[in-house]
């Protein structure tokens, strides 16, 4: 038996800290099943804390949110004209509300589904703009959308040089209305601030060009979680927050927000390191440590620190003693050095434990970094936490992590069959077969 446990007090505290740090509107990004927390329940907790604007990457996720009630205004009696959705009846006319689809769609069947459910679409190309306008025309509607600008990510969006053409295109289409403009940072988690400022400046220049050409860009947003914490002068009209809600950010991203930085003025739009608030004034210690939280019964006492949210819980299902020089696990990678008491825990890599993102870049600097990290991890030990009536204990994982089970060293630990085992894990890597429980 295993389950991913989400501590609501930590999650709610993180949400409040983030809200207190920003005067911009917060768009909660719920990709990857809500970063592994379970998208619908995560959205409910956000909504209860006053965040009611959501963004997802997949059309299916957007539809799920709408069907669960996270949607825009519906006017009863205003029926879609024509047989647009064969075999279905529509009780009213749904207008775009508070679910933004970040992935532009270029196919009419998907656009029709999107419009039926009142989802706010993105466009980032001539083809996506045309198909959206044509679908809206068939429905006799004017549809709000957000326009994406590619400032350096190299995926979706109009290139800065295409802005005049994009403006002319949008202004000439009668059934779509620009409600927002955004871009996405590619390297905001690094210490290379010039890359972030370069993208930001390109975005602001493109926005100013849109205004000169007579097109109101609407709501402006560019910050993701890392940029939100590091560059408050770039918050603009809205920020897109995902991993920060979980307190799980790339290494080096500070998670302690000083009280004096809360509610900072977000009005500057000049992407110059010499203007606005300096990152050096926002140094925050990296204090989100799972082992420390495990030893501390009241982590929420740190009111301005983002706490790690989510842990995997299971229990010991077998205990026994192994003799000296006995193998543990596949490939004979570990042998006992003495008589060893072990416990078996029904958690493995299929549940996301011990799983890491694969290496997918192979520049010389990347390879050197991999080698450096491998050397650092030499003789690294993995621990889990055991909690029972005798207290809290750390137990080392012995041998390799199996697909369904791990073996832990219980020697010298007062732990027995059925005791609870708590494992630090990235919720996004936990399979959907594992139950999510909010406590």
Please report which helix (H) or strand (E) contains residue 62, including its range. Answer: helix 59-67
Angle of CA points 326, 332, 333, to nearest 5°: 105
Position 346 scores a pLDDT of 98
Q: Which residues contact 212 (CB under 8 A, 6 or more apart)?
A: none
Q: How many Å apart are CA 429 and CA 419, to the nearest integer?
A: 24
85 C-beta neighbours (distance < 10 Å), count: 13
Superfamily of segment(s) 311-423: Lyase, Ornithine Decarboxylase; Chain A, domain 1 (2.40.37.10)
| C-alpha span between 148 and 166 (Å, rounded) | 11
Give the pair of three-digit tokens for residue 236.
């603009």
The CA angle 432-434-439, to the nearest 5 degrees, is: 110
Residues 6+ apart with CB under 8 A from 301: none
Measure the N-to-C terminal CA separation of the chain; round to a whole number of Å: 17
DSSP 11: H
| Kind and range of the H or E run holding 93 | strand 92-94
What pLDDT is stored for residue 358 in this prediction? 80
Distance CA 133, CA 127 (A): 10
CA–CA distance, 242 with 28 (Å, rounded to integer): 6
| Domain residue extents for the chain | 8-301, 311-423
Calpha distance 392→280 (Å, rounded): 38
CA distance 126 to 164: 12
DSSP 375-398: HHTTT---EEEEEETTEEEEEEEE
Q: What is the largest CA-CA distance in the chain?
A: 80
Considering only the top CATH level, what class is 8-301?
alpha beta
The verdict on pTM exceeding 0.85 is: no
Report the pLDDT value the prediction gives residue 47, as an integer from 0 to 100: 95
pLDDT score at 293: 52
Q: Quick one: tokens of 6?
A: 């989400």
pLDDT string in tens for the chain (439-residue length): 899 999 999 999 999 999 999 879 999 999 999 999 999 999 999 999 999 999 999 999 999 999 999 874 333 333 333 333 333 333 333 344 699 999 999 999 999 999 999 999 999 999 999 999 999 999 999 999 999 999 999 999 999 999 999 999 999 999 999 999 999 999 888 878 999 999 999 999 999 999 999 999 999 999 999 999 999 999 999 999 999 999 998 866 767 775 545 444 333 333 333 333 333 333 333 333 444 554 454 444 457 889 999 999 999 999 999 999 999 999 999 999 999 999 999 999 999 999 887 888 788 888 888 888 888 878 889 999 999 999 999 999 999 999 999 999 999 999 999 999 999 999 999 999 999 999 9
| Residue the block writes with tokens 């192994």 | 322
Measured at the CA of 31, the angle between CA 28 and CA 33, to 5 degrees, comes to: 110
Q: What pairing do the DSSP bridges indicate for beta strands 74-76 and 92-94?
A: antiparallel
Task: Write down the pLDDT at residue 370.
Answer: 83
Name the token pair of 201: 């400046």
DSSP string over 109-139 = HHHHHHHHTTPBPEE-SHHHHHHHHHHHHHH
Q: How far is CA 368 from CA 191, 214, 364, in A?
A: 18, 50, 6
Question: Encoding tokens for residue 97?
Answer: 């509300």
pLDDT at 258: 59
């Amino acid at each position: 038996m295993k389950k991913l446990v989400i501590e609501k007090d930590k999650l709610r505290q993180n949400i409040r800290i983030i809200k207190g740090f920003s005067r911009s509107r917060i768009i909660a990004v719920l990709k990857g099943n809500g970063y592994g927390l379970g998208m619908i329940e995560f959205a409910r907790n956000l909504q209860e804390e006053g965040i009611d604007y959501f963004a997802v990457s997949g059309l299916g996720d957007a539809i799920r949110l709408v069907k669960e009630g996270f949607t825009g205004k519906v006017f009863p009696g205003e029926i879609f004209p024509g047989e647009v959705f064969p075999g279905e009846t529509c009780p009213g006319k749904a207008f775009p509300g508070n679910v933004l689809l970040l992935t532009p769609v270029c196919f009419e069947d998907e656009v029709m589904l999107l419009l039926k459910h009142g989802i706010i679409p993105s466009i980032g190309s001539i083809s996506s703009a045309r198909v959206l306008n044509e679908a809206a025309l068939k429905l006799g509607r004017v549809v709000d959308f957000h326009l994406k600008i590619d400032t350096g990510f190299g995926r979706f969006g109009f290139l800065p040089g295409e802005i005049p053409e994009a403006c002319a295109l949008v202004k000439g289409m009668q059934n779509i209305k620009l409600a927002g403009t955004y871009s996405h940072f590619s390297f905001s988690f690094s210490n290379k601030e010039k890359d972030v400022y370069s993208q930001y400046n390109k975005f602001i220049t493109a926005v100013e060009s849109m205004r000169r050409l007579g097109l109101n860009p609407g709501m402006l947003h560019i910050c993701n979680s890392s940029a939100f914490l590091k560059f408050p002068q770039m918050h603009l009209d809205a920020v897109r927050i995902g991993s920060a809600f979980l307190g799980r950010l790339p290494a080096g991203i500070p998670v302690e927000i000083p009280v004096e930085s809360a509610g900072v003025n977000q009005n500057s739009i000049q992407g110059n390191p010499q203007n606005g608030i300096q990152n050096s004034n926002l140094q925050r210690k990296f204090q989100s440590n799972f082992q420390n939280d495990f030893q501390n019964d009241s982590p929420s006492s740190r009111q301005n620190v983002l706490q790690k949210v989510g842990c995997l819980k299971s229990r010991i299902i077998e205990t026994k003693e192994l003799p000296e020089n006995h193998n543990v696990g596949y490939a004979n990678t570990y042998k006992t050095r003495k008589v060893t008491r072990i416990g078996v825990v029904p958690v493995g890599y299929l549940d996301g434990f011990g799983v890491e993102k694969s290496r997918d870049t192979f520049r010389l600097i990347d390879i050197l970094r991999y080698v450096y990290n491998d050397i650092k991890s030499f003789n690294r030990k993995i621990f889990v936490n055991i909690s029972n009536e005798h207290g809290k204990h750390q137990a080392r994982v012995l041998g390799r992590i199996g697909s369904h089970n791990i073996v832990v060293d219980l020697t010298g630990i007062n732990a027995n069959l059925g005791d609870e085992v708590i494992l630090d894990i990235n919720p996004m890597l936990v399979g959907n077969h594992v139950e999510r429980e909010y406590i």
